[in-house]
Amino acid sequence: MAGPIDPRLLRRARATKWYLAAGAGIGIATAVLTIGQAWLLARSLGGVFAVHTLDPVWPVLAPLAAVFAGKALLSWANTWLAQRASAAVKSQLRRDILRARLATPTASTTSTGSLITLLTTGLDALDGYFSKYLPQLVLAATVPALIVLAVGSADLASAVIIVVTLPLIPIFMALIGWTTEARTKRRWKVQQRLATHFFDLIAGLPTLQSFGRARAQRKGLAETEAAHRRETMGTLRVSFLSAFALELLATLSVAIVAVEVGFRVVYSDIDLTTAFFILILAPEAYLPVRQVGVHYHDSADGMAAADSAFAEIDRLTAMPRGTLAAPAVDASRVVFDGFAYRYPDAETDAVTGIDLTIEPGEIVALAGTSGVGKTTLLNALMGFVRPTAGRILVGDVDLAEIDPDAWRAQLAHVPQQPGMVRGSVGDNVLLGDTAATEARARAALDDAGGAGIPLDQPVGDDGEGLSAGERRRIATARAMLRVRSGARLLVLDEPTAGLDAEAERVLLASLRELGVGAVIVTHRPRVLAEVDRVVHLEDPVGAAV
């Protein structure tokens, strides 16, 4: 179990710190009111018991009502502040995640679907963490100490019982967690496998049906379900133990205090009012701790959400931006010097030992089998990823030192699966140069082999309404527009895939006409024949196939 508060939440999200400070204030005020409430109640109960009239009740009514109102107000304020803090933290995390996504657009291991889930409903798990768990944690840190002091001022023996038993709760919970950890972990793996079986079967149902095997799998499912239940119950029997320890210690301690005080009242060791005061306060000392236990799940869910958020964000901090001015790419050679790239968590390099020089104005094709790392080279050239060994030099400056925006301003990129924004075809071409006129966009699209695509054709979410070939032509037009607005190097990944021979010919002629350098990943013979130089990449030695 990690600490109760993720230090990253404190560091990264200032709203958390601020809330904890305010929450501590609320905690102290709550404790004071609780003590006041106990005192007023005890006095009136003891009084009525002694005199058998209503007299002791009247003076405490107004203050008691005020105390209850104050407690209600504080509990509301606690939730309110926590929710506000949650909103601020979520917003901060969303911003950081999106920035991280844009800082390393190709390095993503998270699919767009799970990113959106994380940004919207996923981070909402932090609401439970902030509104239920954290307030109780803050109360647990402030209230018991004050309550114990109050009890101690009335009766030392009762305070000692509380002081001794209260710390036992976290100790016992930790002990139980520690002794059962190995057992739980072992079971958890089995349980995980069984739990995914249903999901796996349901997700694979269309596949099973197409082989006529769906109905036959029901028997196997019944068996895994039974096994899953057995395993889960085995785990639960153990994991409920810590909640049991919590409940048992908290209630048993109150019972011990109550009986101890009760017998001392018989011998007039303490008076009834003091006894009531202690009895009312004793459970309040344990309440926040118990509530922390109750809301532990909210904490776990919130932490999981924060973990996925930080996993995304940490990629941003891993890559500092360069600051140097970019040398002109049409006057400097670009050199891959012992370039290697290894994906995070991979055991071997995806690309290794690449030495490659691109002269200014040269059109170079990169060829090689699938998975050989051609796209990785383009991503590194675009500054989306950094070499994990070796470097890329532009003139005599390391690309890692160069301001990426200034560098990319000289490049025009077409990825293998171009992204589209919502709007029209024209909007998408104009991404190449937002200041360009519609006529220039039209010309660029024609030159990219997209003469038949109207500029005002609507483009839906994720390029909906466009075929793969159309998308590629629009993206190529985008790149051409950018070259005509000043970019000096084309970076193209399979620009002619999905195009027929005629469209391919038009496109190649237009590229030549632009008169700028290009690095093209391709396997099409016609493209390979057109370029100045072809570089064949080999499978890296020892790389996974």
Partner 1 sequence: MSAPAAAPPRRGWLGLLRGLTADVPRAWPHFFAALLLAAAASAASVALMATSGWLLSRAAEHPPVLYLQVAAVGVRFFGISRGVFRYTERLVGHDLALKLQSALRLRVYGTLSRTTLLGRRRGDLLTRIVADVEAVMDLVVRVLVPFCSASLVILATTTLFAVFSPASAIVLLVSAVLAGGIVPWVAQRASRAADATAVPARGRLADSAHELSRASVDIVAYGLAEERLAALLDVDEELKRAEERAAVVRGIAVAGQVVAAGFAVLLILVLGAQEVAAGTLSPVMLAVLVLTPLTLHEVLSTLAQSAQTFTRAKVALRRVEAELTAEPVGAGDVPDAPPAEDPGLRLSGATIGWPRSEALLTGLDLRVGRGERVALVGPSGVGKTTVAATVMGLIPPQAGRVETHGRVGYLAQDAHIFSTTVSENVRIGNKDATRDDVVHALARAGLDLDPDRVVGELGSAVSGGEARRIALARLLVGDYQVWVLDEPTEHLDVITAAGVLDDLWRAAGDAPLLAITHDPAVMERCDRVVRLAR
User: Scanning residues 319 to 378, which ones bind partner 1 (CB under 8 A)?
Assistant: 369-371
d(CA 538, CA 514): 30
Among residue numbers 421 through 450, which ones bind partner 1 (CB under 8 A)? 421-422, 431-432, 434
Q: Which stretch binds partner 1 (CB under 8 A): 18-26, 264-272, 337-345, 534-542?
A: 264-272
Question: Residue 221 Cβ, how far from partner 1 at the closest point, in Å?
Answer: 6
272 makes contact with partner 1 (CB under 8 A): yes
What residue has token string 């057109």?
530
Burial status of residue 414 (CB atoms within 10 A of its CB: 0-12, 13-18, 19 or more): buried
Question: Helices in 204-335 by DSSP H: which ranges?
Answer: 205-210, 217-266, 272-294, 296-317
How many residues bind to partner 1 according to rule CB under 8 A? Answer: 147
Nearest to 89 by CA among 5, 25, 2: 5
Q: Which stretch binds partner 1 (CB under 8 A): 16-24, 106-114, 169-177, 319-327?
A: 106-114
Question: Residue 363 Cβ, how far from partner 1 at the closest point, in Å?
Answer: 19
Among residue numbers 85 through 104, which ones bind partner 1 (CB under 8 A)? 86-88, 90-91, 94-95, 98-99, 101-102
178 makes contact with partner 1 (CB under 8 A): no
203 makes contact with partner 1 (CB under 8 A): yes
Among residue numbers 128 through 167, which ones bind partner 1 (CB under 8 A)? 131
Q: Which is nearer to partner 1, 323 or 338 (CB)?
A: 323
d(CA 397, CA 381): 13
What residue has token string 């140069």?
433
Binding-site member from 200, 314, 438, 532 for partner 1 (CB under 8 A):
200
Evaluate whether 338 touches 389 at the Cβ level (below 8 Å).
yes
Question: Residue 356 Cβ, how far from partner 1 at the closest point, in Å?
Answer: 20
Q: Which is nearer to partner 1, 307 or 462 (CB)?
A: 462
Q: Which is nearer to partner 1, 355 or 500 (CB)?
A: 500
Binding-site member from 17, 106, 509, 539 for partner 1 (CB under 8 A):
106
Q: Which is nearer to partner 1, 35 or 431 (CB)?
A: 431
Evaluate whether 474 touches 445 at the Cβ level (below 8 Å).
yes
C-alpha count within 13 angstroms, C-beta hemisphere, residue 416: 11
Binding-site member from 149, 174, 222, 346 for partner 1 (CB under 8 A):
222
Nearest to 139 by CA among 9, 286, 7: 286
d(CA 205, CA 212): 10
Evaluate whether 426 touches 456 at the Cβ level (below 8 Å).
yes
Question: Residue 338 Cβ, how far from partner 1 at the closest point, in Å?
Answer: 25
Evaluate whether 40 touches 64 at the Cβ level (below 8 Å).
yes
Evaluate whether 41 touches 64 at the Cβ level (below 8 Å).
yes
Binding-site member from 17, 185, 186, 229 for partner 1 (CB under 8 A):
229
CA geometry: angle 308, 312, 313, nearest 5 deg: 115
CA distances from 526 to 365, 496, 514 (A): 11, 10, 18
Q: Which is nearer to partner 1, 159 or 537 (CB)?
A: 537
Task: Compute CA 292 distance to the chain's CA centroid, rounded to the nearest angstrom.
Answer: 24
Among residue numbers 487 through 516, which ones bind partner 1 (CB under 8 A)? 491, 494, 497-498, 500
Q: Which is nearer to partner 1, 146 or 411 (CB)?
A: 411
Among residue numbers 28 through 87, which ones bind partner 1 (CB under 8 A)? 41, 44-45, 48-49, 52-54, 56-57, 61, 64-65, 67-69, 71-73, 75-81, 83-84, 86-87
Q: What is the DSSP letter of 309?
A: H
